[in-house]
Structure 1
Amino acid sequence: MWNKFRNIQSVLFFTYSLIIVIVFTVLVIWFYMWASDLLRQNAADTLQSMGQSMQEHNDSEIQKMNDVSLNVLYSNLVKTHFQKFISGEEDETDPTGLTNPVMNSVENAKQLAEILTAAIGPSRPVEQLYLYDFKNKVYGNGFDNGERTYDSSKKPWYEQVINNTEGKTITLPVPDEEMSRFISSSEKQYSISLFRLFYDSYNEPMGIVEVKQYFNRIFASMIEFSKQNPYQAKVLVYNDAGQIVYPLQADTSVYSAYMKLPTGKAAQAENDYLPFVNPDTGGKELLSYHHSSFTGWNTVIIVSEKKLLAPLFVFTKRTVLVAFIIMLFAILLSFAAAKRITFPILKIHRTIRSMRLEDLGTGRVAALELNSGLTELDHLHFSFQQMSSRLKQSMDELLLSQSQEMQAKLVALQSQMNPHFLYNTLATIHAMAEENMNEQIISMTENMSHFLRYFSSDESLVDLGEEVLHTEKYLEINQIRYGKKLEYSIDIEESILKLRIPKLIIQPLVENSLKFCTTNEPPWMIQVKGIIQDNRWQIEVSDNGPGFTEDSLNSLNGRIREINETHVIPVLQLDGMGLLNIYIRMKLTYGGDMLFRIDNRPRAGATIIIGGTL
């Protein structure tokens, strides 16, 4: 076996192929490593940029709230009018002192509202501002305007704000029924508040400033990112106390592993792109981690490494596929090169091997011996020409033989006739002659003459109408013979009467029906119908005889299966035009488009349907 691969062509081909495989393997591995690092770094930069952008947006929204709170804290006008508002002082500009205290309160509230509106600014960077005093009174400006009382014991943020003397206090998102009233959406609205202690001119706390903003507005960039998330990434925001700020109502146990990352000042130094292994799933994840010293919030974007690097995997697959195709093409070229080198020797061998003895000494042999430098190609071309010529001649002879064989089979099949029909007909004529039934004898002899003339014609295909007429003559002969015992009907659509069909395929079906009907008590009913259905003609012959036995059906179907599987036509038997012979003739004429179905009728009798394409 190894001798087969020791020829020059095999050695050259395997050498070239090995070189190509090694070179391409090294190039693909190097390219994959380079592209992996590059795409991974680009993905990391993109993730880092998105995280930084989200954090900056959050800081910007909180900064707006902080600016508004500072504008209120450092405004002397706000302090003055807030002190008047909470103390109920009279207007000092009224010399009479007769002004109504209620009017003074209304005027103070009006002036305070104008000043707070100015402090918020014309662009309204926040939605709501509240000023709380320590006497359980609160004044609102924004969507919710006016004065009302409050219970400090029911405010969860109160103690935290009172104890925080260093600056601002930012709360977690909470459902806000008050601000939900001003939104047309049916969804419950959440808000975040920023609190500061409000000091008087002597730097003594006299109240609390609360600035409110909708949750959806602060985290708009994250919400938008979640809607258009190419990597199915998760975004987490939590404060230094380990409380989740975003997303709403998040399960702490799901994010507990991420919240163990450094916080506070340590987190500021860790702002980076971090590899991470999820302890729950064991899957590799990539984190973009950012800490804001302004809000004390930590922003983490969590992406599955598999999903993030999916484009890399797709690109790698395509690269490997392209490399494989190129390598395959190169190997084919190496094969062609090896074959090109050894081709002349191989062609000379093949030419000599295919040459016949009778060609020696002819002009064709002289042409093969020309030495032009490319004689191997000339020899190959000429050899193929000769082979094709001989093959074509052989194929023509084979096709002619098969055609003649098929025609002979068709003629033999249609030339079969049951001699019992002739015997019975002549016996009937003899009996009628003895009874002087001249008219019946004339009719029967005319029909018999037509029957024999039609049967003895050389045509293999006839009009369907002519076949039906022949069948009708056959039934008339038998009706004269059997009288009222035989009843028949023929109903053929006129549109199919001109179709060309094999001769003697309907009359034998009628003959077969009559043969089995006569085994029962009369009357004997035979029906012939012809229709067009599903772009094919159909002829149905039915009777009220005993029908087919199960054994005869199984035998007939078995022989039909044998013909279809072996494609061999059985030896003809001149013992009558049987159903199998009709099936064979239909098969030879229409092939797979033929229709041949045998079945028993529900009550009594049998039905045979044949058909072919239009």
Structure 2
Amino acid sequence: MGKEIFRSLKKKLCQIRSKLVIYYFTFLVIPMAMMILIFNVAIHVMKNSEAQYTMNILSQMNNNISETMNRIFTQTARAAVDKSLWSILEKSKEDADKTRGEDQRTVTDILLRYLGDMPFIQSVNVLGYNGEIYSLEDGGASLPRDYVFTNSEWYQKMQAFGTESLLVPTHKSYDMLAENQENNVITYVREIRNDDSSMGYLMLEVETGIFTSYIDSSYFKKDSSIIIIDSSTKKVIYHTKPEYINSQFREGYLSQILSNSQGYLVTDTHKEEQEIVAHTTSEEAGWKVIYTLPVKVAYKSIRSLTFMAVYIFILCIPVAIGLAIMVSKNLTNPIFVLRDCMKEVEDGNIQVEIQVQSQDEIGELSISFQKMLEHIRRLIGEVYQKEIHRKQAELNALQAQINPHFLYNTFQIMDIMAEEKEAYELSDACQALSRIFRYSIRKKEEVSLKEEIEHVKNYMYIQNIRFGDRLEVIYEIVPDTLDMEIIKLMIQPIVENAIIHGIENQDKVCRISISSLVTNDVLSIIVEDTGSGMSSEELSRLRTEINRDVLESGETKRREGGIAMRNVNQRIKLRYGGVYGLYVHSQKQKGTKVILNLPAKRVKDI
């Protein structure tokens, strides 16, 4: 019972209607899969777009920061090698105290010359080993006269590392200077050194507000943050939320961004709120510039794409169902018609005609099936006609053997009688005729070229007795072709025709050449004479006669010799196919050439 149910279910599933239902169900699933794919692709594209945009903005901002810091480093280095400044710092404490006022004005001029066009510099101080401290008095903060820089932390670091300059991360101004300036600054210290020894230090403070000018809020989305940290100390130099400035940066992705000069990442999903993090590096300052944005803000626009995809999918369902019904009907009806016609052909009715109902692949299949039926009917007719031809040829051959048998026996008796009378020339002629008739009555249809040539030589022996010196025969047979297959009695009718038209109608010597050659697996046998030849009109009629069907009636008047050539041509084509056969070339008063083309195969291969 279970097997019967299974077979019934399998049969129904194999029906084209069942398959179409499965296909239509698949078509309903495909749009959903496409929407999911589009959604994922959209997320990927938008993430890449967001990343590229953010990295471009960060790169531009980092270039601005690097350009500013490089300018500070360059101008400070130029001020540190100013010889006027050297001459002031080379003075002893006593001499410096005497010229304090003048030296302060000189230092102010030097500092203004190199650093005066940088409004973001909060203060500049020159510290000498002679104990003197000079500052930029143009509104800048100054250190007290008793400030001992050799006891400062920054000095200890520079001595320990042996560096000529030091960039101190963000700190409160009063942490380094004596004045109670509580704004956040970045301190840069540069050693003043002549050719022989260190003379002091040039120290300046830069307001962290300088970074605000590089951050255009219109470039960044709401809830995003810009952070600048010192790569070595991990301290926050700048943050869009000021309360984080000068604090230690402790985010979990810190080690990842420090290991790469720039990049783009998304924080782990286990975090309360995922963030997009883009970062780059200021090589001049050794800082990391970081941009963060909550994922939910970055991908807000994707929600509208999701709703649109769902809406399109819902609309596709009824449309797909309607199309399924229509397509199923259009597809199955022509198939059922074709199936019924095939059943009739299976029952033996090959005369059935198919009514083509569509122009699609099913219609093309119906047309091809109809053409196949027409081809089958034509092939059956051709096979039938060929069978009739073959039977007729066998009948003709059987009838032709009656006279040769009688004549063969007769010539055997004549040969014996001639030898008894010592008429040896007559005896040789009888023997030649005997061999001719014995060859002609052989039942084997295929012979070697060598056997056919021997038959032709026997025939030509009789003709030479008749015509004497008026007939010359040249044999140019390639030795390698002697064992190739040829149909019996093919060459002799052609030679006989050459004699009739080449010597009987004229007094001059007729030369007949018989040659063979193999080209591209085709054996060609050429019979050429120097007889009277034919005009183009006669040649055309002969070629038409040669290609007439073997069973056509002989009511029309034919050129003498045309029947023999036609029979040879038909025997070749029936035996080997239409690509082989007999071909005639002729010119008036120049002679005639007949070419027999057969497949080049050897008798031993038959």
TM-score interval w.r.t. the shorter chain?
Answer: 0.3 to 0.5
**How does the TM-score come out when normalised to structure 2?**
0.43
* Larger radius of gyration between Structure 1 and Structure 2: 2
Between the two structures, name the one with larger relative contact order (CA 8 Å, sep ≥ 6): 1
